[in-house]
Amino acid sequence: MPTYVRFVELPALDQRRAISFYTEKLGLRVARDQEYREGWNWVLLEIPGAQTKILLTQSSGETRDTPSLVLTVEDVHARHRELAAKGVEFTTEPAVAPWNPNEVYAVFRDSEGNLVMLGSEVDAA
């Protein structure tokens, strides 16, 4: 039986731009950045303290209408304000999730056109 997910893939058109977005705006760290093949590096991003990494894969240029990445945060409203102040453009403002009345979510586009969802559990009290 597997013990954890090593990495998930996130498409990028421009790795340097994606690295800047995820490190400067979201606070992720570069865990590995080494030559992989001509014109493309093996770039793993990490959330400090998390085991699962994010691998920046070469994008085909197509965008999806569903999130490519879902991140759990402590407070969606606070994180939304923080990211909006850094220039991150949200496609969905914070709202109660229709699939779970105890979850708040918001969605933004990253530098590569991917939709990214933020979610947090709220007290059912």
pTM score > 0.75 for this model? yes
Whether residue 1 lies inside any domain: the answer is no
Considering the domain boundaries, does residue 2 fall inside one? Answer: no
Q: What's the number of domains the chain is made of? A: 1
Tens of pLDDT, residue by residue over 31-76, are 999 999 998 999 999 999 999 999 999 988 888 899 999 999 999 9
Task: Give domain status of residue 79, yes or no.
Answer: yes
Nearest alpha-carbon partner for 17 in 115, 120, 111, 121: 111
29 assigned to some structural domain: yes
In a domain, 64, yes or no: yes
Domain that holds residue 109: 7-121
What is the CATH classification number for the domain harbouring 48? 3.10.180.10
In a domain? residue 32: yes
pLDDT at site 42 = 97
Task: Report the alpha-carbon distance of residue 27 to residue 88 in Å, rounded.
Answer: 13
